[in-house]
Amino acid sequence: MSNIIFHIDMNAFYANVEMAYDPSLRGKPLAISGNAKERKGIVVTCSYEARALGVKPPMPLWEAKRLCPGLIVRTPNFDRYRSSSQEMFTILREYSDLVEPVSIDEGYIDLTHTPYAEHAVKTAHDIQTRLVEELMLPSSIGIAPNKFLAKMASNWKKPMGITILRKRDVPNMLWPLPAGDMHGVGQKTAEKLKKIGIHTIEDLAKANEYTLKELLGINGPRLKQKANGEHDGIVDPERIYEFKSVGNSSTLPHDSDDSDELVTLIDKLSHSVSARLRRKEVMANRLLIMIRYASWKNITRSVMLTNPTDRKEDIFEAAKQLFLKHWNDQPVRLLGVTGTDLVERKAAVKQLDLFSYTEDAKEEPLQTILDGLKEKYGKSLVQRGITIKEKESKTSGTSFNKDFFQDERGND
Q: Is 39 exposed, middle or buried (0-12, 13-18, 19+ CB in 10 A)?
A: exposed
User: Which listed residue (18, 49, 100, 106) is catalytic?
Assistant: 106
Indicate the residue type of 103.
S
pLDDT of residue 391: 34
The more confident residue out of 358 and 36 is 36
Confidence of residue 186 (pLDDT cuts 50, 70, 90): confident
Output the average pLDDT for the chain: 84
Q: For residue 326, is pLDDT > 80?
A: yes
State whether CATH 3.30.420.40 applies to domain 237-347. no
pLDDT of residue 354: 36
| Three-state secondary structure call for residue 55 | coil
Q: For residue 11, is pLDDT > 50?
A: yes
The more confident residue out of 357 and 22 is 22
DSSP 8-state code for residue 206 = T
The alpha carbon torsion through 251, 255, 260, 266 (nearest 10 deg) reads 20
DSSP 8-state code for residue 93 = T
The more confident residue out of 184 and 140 is 140
pLDDT of residue 188: 86
Query: Was 105 annotated as part of a binding site?
Result: yes
106 as an active site residue: the answer is yes
Within 22-143, residue ranges assigned H as helices are 48-51, 61-67, 78-92, 120-135
At 337-363, the pLDDT tens digits run 999 888 777 655 443 333 333 343 444
Q: Which CATH number fits domain 175-227: 1.10.150.20, 1.10.10.10, 3.20.20.80, 1.20.1050.40?
A: 1.10.150.20
pLDDT of residue 342: 82
Q: How far apart are CA 49 and CA 160, in angstroms?
A: 15
Query: Was 329 annotated as part of a binding site?
Result: no
Q: How far apart are CA 339 and CA 291, in angstroms?
A: 15
The more confident residue out of 377 and 151 is 151
Q: Which residues pair with 293 in a beta bridge?
A: 332
pLDDT of residue 36: 52
pLDDT of residue 34: 72
The more confident residue out of 393 and 130 is 130
Indicate the residue type of 348.
A
Lowest-confidence pick of 105-114, 282-291, 301-310, 361-370: 361-370
pLDDT of residue 100: 93
Q: Which residues pair with 54 in a beta bridge?
A: none
The residues, ordered by sequence, that sit 6+ positions from 401 with a Cβ below 8 Å of its Cβ are 103, 104
pLDDT of residue 392: 29
Count CA within 13 A, CB hemisphere, residue 181. 17
Q: What is the pTM of this model?
A: 0.61
Q: What is the CA radius of gyration of the chain?
A: 24
The more confident residue out of 62 and 281 is 62
Q: How far apart are CA 360 and CA 357, in angstroms?
A: 5
Q: Beta-carbon neighbour count of residue 326 at 10 Å?
A: 12
pLDDT of residue 121: 96
Buried/exposed code over 117-133 (b: 16+ C-beta within 10 A; e: otherwise): eeebeebbeebbebbee
Q: Which CATH class is domain 5-10+79-168?
A: alpha beta
Mean pLDDT, range 172-178, rounded to an integer: 96
pLDDT of residue 35: 62
In percent, how much of the chain has pLDDT > 70? 81
DSSP 8-state code for residue 200 = B
The residues, ordered by sequence, that sit 6+ positions from 80 with a Cβ below 8 Å of its Cβ are 17, 18, 21
State whether CATH 3.30.70.260 applies to domain 14-76. no
pLDDT of residue 246: 87
Confidence of residue 389 (pLDDT cuts 50, 70, 90): very low
The alpha carbon torsion through 213, 216, 217, 223 (nearest 10 deg) reads -70
pLDDT of residue 282: 82
pLDDT of residue 241: 53
Per domain, the residue ranges of the chain are 5-10+79-168, 14-76, 175-227, 237-347
Instruction: Answer yes or no: are the C-beta atoms of 267 and 317 closer than 8 Å.
Output: no
Confidence of residue 315 (pLDDT cuts 50, 70, 90): very high
